């Protein structure tokens, strides 16, 4: 009896069957994010280029760029994500992107009263 495929193996199989599906690419980026961030970045880049209206990409792609020390690029990703999310009417995502942008820019200070 063979072992059940792992989530990553299942996602890779889905991706092989339909590489144009943005959800599978997003799921793969998420799966790779902690252990293999450069592989995750490849999937985020694909999403940003081929599926620019996939709102969920922007927050995580920006955070990954910040983790790479590429804050200027992260800022641009957050700004683009704000436009896309607002256009799509996804105000919760827009709020999260605004907070991420503020943090990236050092504007997330707390009152110390």
pTM, two decimals, is 0.89
CA dihedral 71, 74, 76, 78 (to 10 degrees): -130
φ/ψ bin of 69: left (φ > 0), alpha (ψ from -120 to 50), beta (otherwise):
left
Query: Rounded CA gap, 102 and 113, in Å?
Result: 21
Residue 4's pLDDT band, with cuts at 50, 70 and 90, is confident
Segment 81-99, tens digit of pLDDT: 999 999 999 999 999 999 9
**Helices 56-67 and 91-104: angle between axes, nearest 10 degrees:** 20
Domains of the chain: 19-104 (1.25.40.10)
Query: Rounded CA gap, 54 and 72, in Å?
Result: 21
């Amino acid at each position: 009896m063979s072992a059940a495929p792992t989530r990553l193996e299942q996602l890779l199989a889905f991706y092989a069957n339909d590489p144009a599906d943005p959800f599978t690419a997003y799921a793969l980026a998420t799966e790779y994010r902690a252990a293999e961030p450069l592989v995750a970045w490849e999937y985020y880049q694909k999403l940003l280029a081929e599926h620019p209206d996939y709102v969920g990409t922007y927050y995580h792609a920006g955070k990954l760029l910040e983790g790479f020390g590429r804050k200027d690029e992260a800022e641009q990703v957050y700004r683009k994500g704000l436009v896309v999310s607002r256009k799509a009417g996804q105000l919760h995502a827009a709020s999260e992107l605004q907070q991420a942008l503020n943090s990236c820019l050092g504007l997330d200070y707390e009152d110390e009263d």
